[in-house]
Amino acid sequence: QLPPGLYKKVLVILHDSILPYMNEPTLMIDFLTVAYGIGGAISLLALNGLFILIHQHNLEYPDFYKKLYSLLDPSIYHVKYRARFFHLADLFLSSSHLPAYLVAAFIKRLSRLALTAPPEALLMVIPFICNLFRRHPACKVLVHRPNGPGDLSEDPYIMEQEEPSESRALESSLWELQSLQNHYHPDVAQAAAVLNQSLSEIEDDISGLLELSASELFDKEVKKTSANVPLEFEQVRGLFGKKNDIFADHFALD
């Protein structure tokens, strides 16, 4: 039993400073699987080590995607390990052999949580979701239902369901991203509007968006040069600014 702070320090360096130098990295299987089951930031940090064991040492983890799905909660867009998590999630969801119901569950859960996410996270997760649609065309039914959005009287997706196969995500629609098309931040609204068009086959590169911060967004807006903006300005004619102001006959503005 390690204190949470020590768990995090070990897991942050485990994948590049410990596992490559071990004669038998598989000895860390129990440690990493227990850490992955703890939840929160510790589970996020355990993903790096698990990825190496799964990818290079043939580790089989039957409920891996179920656990990965359960890690998606509102804090996922706010933790400082967000970039690390979405980089690995992108790798884990890259296989075209994953079932459509599983990918649809991830898309739907990410979209639902996006309703309360900050703009810098939205500018990353919307292209991430678009890439999932490109890899798994069967999930496009979430955007283009055969009978249109009116086919659903209510959202059948069950957010509280821990099992992705029983969440009914494929029966749902992506109304959350349609709502984000009216987001207060123009860049977010523009990014969400991409789903109104047919997606290109080339995936978006999200590597530069994983570390995007609120201060960078703010600096970008401040440095923008504005063109001539039309204003509803009426030149002052009299004391109270009206054209036919009786005061203009008796008073003058110097």
Residue found by looking up tokens 């390690």 in the block: 2
CA dist., res. 154 & res. 137, Å (int): 24
Q: Which of 93-107, 134-148, 151-165, 232-246 has the lowest mean pLDDT?
A: 232-246
pLDDT for position 47: 83
CA dist., res. 88 & res. 3, Å (int): 25
Confidence of residue 238 (pLDDT cuts 50, 70, 90): low
pLDDT for position 195: 85
Q: What is the mean pLDDT of residues 25-30?
A: 85
Return the closest-CA partner of residue 195 out of 126, 96, 138. Answer: 126
CA dist., res. 72 & res. 40, Å (int): 10
Percent of the chain with pLDDT over 90: 13
CA dist., res. 248 & res. 246, Å (int): 5
Q: For residue 47, which amino acid is it?
A: L
Angstrom CA distances, 88 to 128, 183, 189, 207, 254, stand at 12, 28, 26, 11, 68
CA dist., res. 120 & res. 135, Å (int): 24
pLDDT for position 224: 78
pTM equals: 0.75
Q: Is the pLDDT of residue 106 over 90?
A: yes
pLDDT for position 108: 93
Confidence of residue 237 (pLDDT cuts 50, 70, 90): low
Angstrom CA distances, 74 to 9, 27, 58, 228, stand at 24, 33, 32, 40
Q: For the CA atoms of the chain, what is the radius of gyration? A: 25
pLDDT for position 41: 77
Average pLDDT, the chain: 82
Structure-model confidence comparison of residues 156 and 39, the more confident one: 156
DSSP state of 195: G
Q: Is the pLDDT of residue 219 over 60?
A: yes
Which pLDDT tens digit goes with each residue over 183-200? Answer: 999 889 999 998 888 888
Give the helix, strand, coil percentages of the chain, each rounded to 5: 60, 0, 40
Pure H helices in 58-174 = 64-70, 82-92, 100-114, 119-135
What secondary structure does DSSP assign to 51-66, as a single string? HHHHHHH----TTHHH
Confidence of residue 49 (pLDDT cuts 50, 70, 90): confident
3-state secondary structure of 67: helix
CA dist., res. 98 & res. 101, Å (int): 9
Angstrom CA distances, 116 to 82, 84, 121, 185, stand at 15, 20, 10, 13
Q: Which of 9-23, 47-61, 99-113, 141-155 has the lowest mean pLDDT?
A: 141-155
Residue found by looking up tokens 């196969």 in the block: 165
Q: What is the mean pLDDT of residues 131-143?
A: 88
